Amino acid sequence: MVSRLAIVGTGLIGASVALAARRAGVASVRGFDPDPDALAEAAQGGAVEPAGSLSEAVANAELAVVAAPVAQLSSSVAEVLAASSGTVTDVGSTKGAVARAVRDDARFIGGHPVCGSEARGAANARAELFEGATWFLTPGAATEPARYRELHAFVSSLGAVPVAVDPEAHDRLVALTSHLPHALANLLVNQAGAARIEGHEPLAAAGGSLRDLTRVAGANPRIWVDIFLDNASALRETLREHRRRIEQLEAALEAGDAGFLARWIAEASGNRRRMLAEAFEDPGALQRLRVHVPDRPGVLAGITQALGAERINIEDFELQHFSPERGGVLNVLVTGEEPARRAAELLEAQGYGVVVSAVVE
């Protein structure tokens, strides 16, 4: 159990690690940030005791967490390893470059909490940030098992779910699960934004699918330029493969190959079901209730209250906002046809029109 923790880099993630660690019972949390304002903000919020220098922060720490931007990660980690004698980890979004830079130091284990927050600064830090989140750990060949076990326990104590993976495999994994989706979102919204079709602006005619696919478009360039460049090689690999798959689809469309399209959609349906299986116990039983709602306060409360009172668990919940005048569509996911039917009846009794369908065909 860690009792003396150091945080190097006291922005949103660093300060949230500090708060979560305090909540988990870590006695001493010292912090340092090259930016005095960032350090003061974290100290004021009660996340860390501020140290006068990096050395002072890490000298006696059993564990030092480096929460520096991706571009400064390797040099910061090297500096902390030199100034400390305990275990060192980081929270960067890519893991290959820093692993190569420290060349299998026995005290370093890379880390990457997948918490997807877009906020910044210690003022937004929260102890709850990592609850339920996957936290990748990338032990190397030289990593001492005791240090890995200690870090694993520490990450778990913050509420996260540690997952061990090789650093280079980590980068290929996130290239596919995060960097490619972000890149495609940017590509798609820019393609739609650049087009004018006989006076119609595609962005103005965007339906739910274009909105879904571009939700992460335009994410913070201060973070994402570095992530894309740092993981350029793995990302390029996934982009090449994506182009190959597009060409295959184009050929099927040109040939009018209905069989290919049917198999391709069925494969997508199966893959989506597998993905949902991670989040839901029985994705095949999921039912979607599609409810048209006006745009005014209290409407969502009325709906969630009615379902909660009947002990109908809302598995997922999404409001597709049309406009202040036109209202929106609420998609409510519940498990099982019988609860879905009861939920629809309840909402219809409140005057809403409800359409029920299975989530996975």
Residues 213-272 that bind a copy of itself (CB under 8 A): 213-221, 224-225, 228-229, 232, 235-236, 238-243, 245-247, 249-250, 253-254, 256, 258, 261-262, 264-272
Q: Answer yes or no whether residue 141 interacts with a copy of itself by CB under 8 A.
A: no
The residue from 22, 152, 290, 341 that contacts a copy of itself (CB under 8 A) is: 290
Residues 114-133 that bind a copy of itself (CB under 8 A): 114, 116-120, 124, 126-129, 131-133
Q: Answer yes or no whether residue 341 interacts with a copy of itself by CB under 8 A.
A: no
Vertex 353, ends 350 and 356: CA angle to 5°? 115
Q: What is the DSSP string of 197-233?
A: BTTB-GGGG--HHHHHHTTTTT--HHHHHHHHHHTHH
Q: Answer yes or no whether residue 25 interacts with a copy of itself by CB under 8 A.
A: no
Least distance CB 206 / a copy of itself (angstroms): 5
**Residue span 300-329 as binding mask against a copy of itself, x where in contact by CB under 8 A, dash where not:** xxxxxx-xxx-xxxxxxxxx-xxxx-xxxx
What burial letters (b/e) apply to 186-216, b meaning 16+ CB within 10 Å? beebeebeeeeeeeeeeeeeeeeeeeebbeb
111 touches 7 (CB < 8 A): no
**Residue span 149-178 as binding mask against a copy of itself, x where in contact by CB under 8 A, dash where not:** ------------x-x-xx--x--xx--xxx
Among the residue ranges 32-40, 48-56, 94-102, 206-214, the one whose residues contact a copy of itself (CB under 8 A): 206-214
Instruction: For residue 48, give both structure tokens.
Output: 């860390």
Least distance CB 187 / a copy of itself (angstroms): 5
Q: Which is nearer to a copy of itself, 87 or 231 (CB)?
A: 231
Instruction: For residue 33, give both structure tokens.
Output: 């940030």
Q: Answer yes or no whether residue 100 interacts with a copy of itself by CB under 8 A.
A: no
The residue from 17, 151, 185, 347 that contacts a copy of itself (CB under 8 A) is: 185
Q: Are strands 354-358 and 286-293 parallel, antiparallel or unpaired?
A: antiparallel
| DSSP summary character for residue 3 | -
Helix 258-279 and helix 232-255: axis angle, to 10°?
140
Q: Give the containing element (helix H, strand E) for 40.
A: helix 36-44
